[in-house]
């Protein structure tokens, strides 16, 4: 990634704009908390330089969830600062420690094809020293309110500090929603609830993991709800008796999603599976088995 300068959001909260937004919260004693470390060592280096520019040393990394693009910089930062404490939600922590699990789950639990093991989907492993859930924590003299925003990832969290929400993938920025009409999600019911948590967080500004910060959470949360509801309707409409891959193809056609590579195919199949699970719980679709073939129907 190109080097980016930290953008100040409040007296002590900064974020580094990029393909993945990372954040730095300046604490006491010349130390700072890193929130998400980005895709790889380039992101890690960028965070180290930002710390140097601000005259601080990272004391802790909080990973909001275990998608490779949010914790891939951990390993670099740990090599530079071996005393760093890494914090992450349970379940996600297991994947951060064993990142091969991400391509494995994207390939139905089997040994994944090589295309799924690039650094985009499989980061360098990192220890997680402390597992955290909803509540309040203090690191480097900074108090964080930890919000459970599970849904995009199974145990996604967001961090409220001062009047800023470091939301990571709890919601997406406008440009991301415009580009990805089938936004990635692993638990759609929880994802919809998470948008309400973001909306009700009462902050002045919220930074998504991808896209620009929002100062209008009413509108941003609403846009995310609309996108997920549109995707749910498209997947429901795509259930005309075919298998999961037929549903994926039909839904992508309805949503104008063009899949041109194997990683994106598997990410979209995972998301469609999350929608099928959600819609089945809602009683909107049903599954049947026919001569060894799973078929999805409108209920
Ligand atoms: Zn993510």
Mean pLDDT (10-residue bins), the chain, 299 residues: 83 97 98 98 97 97 98 98 98 98 98 96 98 98 98 98 98 94 97 98 98 97 98 98 96 96 97 98 97 94
Closest by CA to 30, choosing from 137, 139, 140, 162, is 140
Residue 259 CA to ligand 1 centre (angstroms): 19
Residue 154 CA to ligand 1 centre (angstroms): 10
Residue 54 CA to ligand 1 centre (angstroms): 27
Residue 184 CA to ligand 1 centre (angstroms): 8
Q: What's the confidence (pLDDT) of residue 122?
A: 97
Residue 67 CA to ligand 1 centre (angstroms): 5
| Residue 175 zone, left/alpha/beta (φ > 0; ψ -120 to 50; rest) | alpha
| Residue 66 zone, left/alpha/beta (φ > 0; ψ -120 to 50; rest) | alpha
Q: Measure the CA–CA gap between 252 and 272, rounded to whole angstroms.
A: 10
Residue 65 CA to ligand 1 centre (angstroms): 7
Residue 160 CA to ligand 1 centre (angstroms): 18
Residue 70 CA to ligand 1 centre (angstroms): 7
Q: What's the confidence (pLDDT) of residue 4?
A: 79
Residue 153 CA to ligand 1 centre (angstroms): 6
DSSP string, 154-201: TT-EEEEETTEEEEETTS--HHHHHH-SS---S-HHHHHHHHHHHHTT
Residue 15 CA to ligand 1 centre (angstroms): 17
Q: What's the confidence (pLDDT) of residue 1?
A: 56
Residue 185 CA to ligand 1 centre (angstroms): 8
Residue 208 CA to ligand 1 centre (angstroms): 10
Residue 292 CA to ligand 1 centre (angstroms): 33
Residue 168 CA to ligand 1 centre (angstroms): 8
């Amino acid at each position: 990634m190109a080097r980016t300068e930290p953008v100040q959001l409040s007296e002590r909260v900064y974020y580094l704009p990029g393909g993945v937004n990372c954040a730095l919260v300046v604490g006491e004693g010349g130390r700072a908390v890193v929130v998400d470390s980005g895709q790889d060592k380039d992101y890690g280096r960028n965070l180290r330089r930002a710390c140097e520019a601000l005259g601080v040393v990272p004391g802790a990394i909080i990973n909001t969830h275990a998608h490779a693009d949010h914790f891939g910089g951990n390993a670099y930062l740990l090599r530079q600062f071996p005393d760093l404490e890494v914090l992450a939600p349970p379940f996600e922590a297991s994947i951060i420690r064993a990142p091969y699990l991400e391509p494995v789950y994207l390939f139905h639990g089997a040994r994944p094809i090589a295309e799924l093991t690039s650094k985009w989907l499989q980061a360098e492993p990192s220890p997680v020293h402390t597992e955290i859930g909803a509540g309040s924590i203090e690191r480097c003299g900074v108090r964080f309110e930890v919000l459970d925003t599970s849904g995009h990832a199974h145990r996604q969290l967001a961090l409220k500090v001062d009047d800023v929400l470091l939301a990571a993938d709890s919601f997406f920025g406008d440009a991301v929603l415009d580009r990805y009409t089938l936004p990635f999600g692993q638990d759609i019911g929880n994802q919809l609830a998470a948008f309400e948590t973001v909306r009700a967080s009462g902050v002045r500004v919220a930074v998504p993991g991808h896209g620009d910060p929002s100062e209008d959470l009413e509108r941003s949360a609403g846009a995310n709800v609309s996108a997920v509801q549109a995707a749910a309707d498209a997947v429901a409409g795509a259930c005309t008796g075919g298998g999961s891959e037929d549903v994926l193809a039909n839904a992508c056609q309805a949503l104008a999603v063009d899949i041109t590579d194997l990683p994106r195919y598997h990410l979209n199949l995972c998301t469609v599976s999350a929608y099928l699970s959600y819609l089945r719980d809602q009683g909107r679709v049903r599954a049947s088995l026919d001569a060894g073939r799973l078929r999805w129907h409108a209920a």
